[in-house]
């Protein structure tokens, strides 16, 4: 069978679609070798956040873009998207089928594109002008460009609506001045979604507007932020008289809070339901169990209890994500499942990190050269960042309590 193209498989049945995907993958990638879980073999890297040099970032970004372009051109880059922007308009179940097929092959990491596809592209599709949609959606899904999210500020994190970055209308442009912080991937992004204050006299939720900004425009200054792990995955970004075309507005002027909510809901869904590795916790726990056996601490009843508790919670999170995926496959929208997923993720990461610290003791504080011990320190130090990203644990508990369980809101702060 010849390699499938977009037009040939647009109306494919699920069986035909999977067959075409397998043909494409077999022609362009290698099957993953069997996983060997022997303790002490291979790399013991277990960092939760990327720890790459700029040169390593550049290599990963180039590989991610090249693979995305190949996948898109074969018709598998935006399976559920509108045809106008290069999509297939197929049911969400087809995306799950392709993802499952690709997971069996060795392909370049798409980590650098995660924010753009998981958060920015859905917001553009929902709120962008025709100009913005035509210019950026196909490019994002094809891997021609990468996007970042410019929301948080030094004085506006969980209370995002108190942000102070200003955008002032000047003819057919908006002029932006201010500072953003904790921006992942800003250093290799071509565009960003920025939230600005456009009416300083309006109530703080009412005077905001969202825009798409060119990250290479004059006046944009990206500076890396060093994490306590030693890496620099995040950035602070300064905007000095940066000009944005008026048609790059997202939604209506001063209705940016609705735009932000679209992005934030997609962000929490992406973080909470992202799958294995740094999200489910199952692979990390298996490594910890092997480590506990190696160190001879599996007879400790407290360690055994912590392992059991962590494993149970990981399985519950997995079942919750499976339930959400089942709804998506049947054409429904997931409800509380994705609200739960983000908080469940960070709590499982916390349990895993604490278990690692209890198993390792002093070994986690200094590098003795022993395989699989000090490597856990980067995981431990990365967990606090995950508990802040996409909404703090406290914010997520309030959302679940008020919007899912219907509990009364916290009393307002008395000024």
Cα–Cα dist 295/303, whole Å: 12
Q: How far is CA 30 from the centre of its chain?
A: 26
The three-state secondary structure class of 344 is helix
Nearest CA among 183, 159, 318, 312 for reference residue 238: 183
Least confident range from 4-8, 176-180, 276-280, 351-355: namely 276-280
> Do residues 317 and 341 lie in contact, with contact meaning Cβ atoms separated by under 8 Å?
yes
Pairwise CA distance, residues 319 & 285, whole Å: 17
**Per-residue pLDDT for 6 more than 70?**
no
Residue 104 contacts residue 32 (beta carbons within 8 Å): yes
Residues in CB range of 376: below 8 A, 6 or more apart: 46, 353, 356, 357, 360, 364
Lowest mean pLDDT among 228-232, 247-251, 274-278: 274-278
User: Pick the catalytic residue: 102, 267, 284, 306?
Assistant: 267
What pLDDT does residue 39 have? Answer: 81
For residue 387, the model assigns a pLDDT of 83
Reported as a single tens digit per residue, the pLDDT across 308-359 is 999 999 999 888 878 877 776 666 666 677 778 888 888 999 999 999 999 9
Q: What integer pLDDT is reported at residue 4 of this predicted model?
A: 45
Least confident window among 22-31, 67-76, 155-164, 199-208: 155-164
Structure confidence at residue 22 (pLDDT): 97
Tell me the pLDDT band of 233, cut-offs 50, 70 and 90: confident
pLDDT of residue 333: 64
Q: What is the pLDDT of residue 389?
A: 75
Average pLDDT for the chain:
88
Helix (H, G, I), strand (E, B) or coil at 315: helix
* % of the chain beyond a pLDDT of 70: 90
Determine the 3-state secondary structure of 145 from DSSP.
coil
Sign of the Cα pseudo-torsion (46, 389, 149, 113, in order): positive
- Between residues 393 and 179, the one the model is more confident about: 179
Under CATH, which number does the domain 278-404 receive? 1.20.140.10
- The CB density around residue 163, as the number of other CB atoms within 10 Å, is 26
Instruction: Name the band, by pLDDT with cuts 50, 70 and 90, for residue 3.
Output: very low
Predicted confidence band of residue 414 (pLDDT cuts 50, 70, 90): low
Helix (H) or strand (E) holding 209: strand 208-214
CATH fold of 147-259: Butyryl-CoA Dehydrogenase, subunit A; domain 2 (2.40.110)
- Please determine whether the domains at 147-259 and 278-404 fall in the same fold group of CATH: no
Tokens of 32: 């993953």
The pLDDT of residue 48 is: 83
Statement: residue 8 has pLDDT above 80: no
Q: Mean of the pLDDT values across residues 48-71?
A: 92
Instruction: Report the half-sphere exposure of 182 (CA within 13 A, side-chain side).
Output: 16
Rounded CA-CA distance 155/39 in Å is 45
pLDDT band at 9 (very low <50, low <70, confident <90, very high): very low
Q: CB–CB of 156/164 below 8 Å?
A: yes
Least confident among 26-30, 55-59, 69-73, 232-236: 232-236
Q: pLDDT tens for residues 190-210? A: 999 999 999 999 998 999 999
Q: Crossing angle for the helix pair 301-329 and 336-360, nearest 10 degrees?
A: 160
pLDDT digits (tens, 9 = 90+) for 79-106: 999 999 999 999 988 998 999 999 999 9
Mean pLDDT along residues 46-58:
86
Q: How confident is the model at residue 268 (pLDDT cuts 50, 70, 90)?
A: low
Domain segments of the chain: what residues?
6-31+49-109, 147-259, 278-404
Q: Within 191-335, where are the H helices?
A: 256-272, 282-295, 301-329
Q: What mean pLDDT do residues 44-51 have?
A: 83
pLDDT tier at 269, thresholds 50, 70, 90? low
Q: How confident is the model over 355-411, as pLDDT tens digits?
A: 999 999 999 999 999 999 999 999 999 898 888 776 788 888 888 888 788 899 877
More confident residue, 8 or 260: 260
Q: Look at residue 341 in the predicted model and tell me its pLDDT.
A: 82
Annotation says 55 is catalytic: no
Structure-token pair, residue 98: 């392709």
Pairing of strands 147-150, 191-197: parallel
pLDDT of residue 375: 92
Question: Largest Cα–Cα distance of the chain, in whole Å?
Answer: 72
CA nearest 269: which of 155, 391, 153, 168?
391
Q: Is the pLDDT of residue 186 over 50?
A: yes
């Amino acid at each position: 069978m010849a390699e499938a193209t977009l037009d040939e498989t647009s109306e494919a049945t699920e069986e035909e679609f999977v067959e075409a995907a397998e043909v494409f993958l077999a022609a362009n990638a290698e099957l993953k070798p069997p996983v060997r879980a022997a303790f002490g073999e291979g790399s013991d890297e277990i960092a939760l956040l990327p720890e790459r040099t700029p040169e390593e970032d550049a290599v990963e970004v180039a590989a991610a873009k090249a693979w995305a372009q190949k996948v898109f051109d074969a018709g598998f880059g935006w399976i559920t998207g509108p045809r106008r922007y290069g999509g297939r308009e197929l049911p969400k179940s087809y995306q799950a089928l392709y993802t499952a097929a690709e997971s069996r092959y060795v392909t370049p990491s798409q980590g650098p594109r995660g924010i753009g596809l998981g958060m920015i592209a859905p917001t553009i599709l929902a709120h962008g002008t025709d100009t913005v949609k035509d210019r950026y959606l196909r490019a994002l899904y094809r891997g021609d460009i990468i996007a970042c999210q410019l929301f948080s500020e030094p004085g506006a994190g969980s209370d995002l609506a108190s942000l102070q970055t200003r955008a002032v209308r000047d003819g057919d442009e908006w002029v932006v001045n201010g500072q953003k912080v904790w921006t992942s991937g800003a250093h290799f992004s071509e565009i960003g979604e920025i939230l600005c204050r456009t009416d300083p006299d309006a109530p703080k939720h009412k005077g905001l507007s969202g825009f798409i900004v060119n990250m290479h425009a004059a006046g944009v200054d990206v500076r890396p932020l060093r994490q306590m792990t030693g890496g620099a995955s995040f950035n602070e970004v300064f905007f000095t008289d940066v000009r944005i075309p008026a048609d790059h507005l997202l939604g209506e002027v001063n209705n940016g809070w609705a735009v932000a909510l679209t992005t934030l809901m997609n962000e929490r869904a992406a973080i909470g339901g992202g799958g294995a590795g740094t999200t489910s916790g199952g692979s990390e726990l298996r490594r910890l169990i092997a480590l506990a056996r190696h160190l001879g601490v599996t007879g400790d009843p407290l360690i055994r209890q912590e392992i059991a508790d962590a494993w149970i919670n990981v399985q519950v999170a997995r079942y919750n994500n499976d339930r959400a995926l089942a709804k998506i496959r049947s054409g429904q929208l997931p409800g509380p499942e994705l609200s739960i997923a983000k908080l469940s993720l960070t709590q499982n990461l916390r349990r895993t990190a604490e278990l690692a610290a209890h198993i390792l003791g002093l070994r986690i504080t200094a590098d003795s050269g022993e395989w699989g011990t000090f490597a856990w320190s980067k995981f431990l130090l990365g967990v606090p960042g995950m508990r802040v990203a996409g909404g703090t644990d406290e914010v997520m508990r309030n959302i679940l309590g008020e919007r899912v369980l219907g509990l009364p809101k916290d009393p307002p702060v008395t000024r």
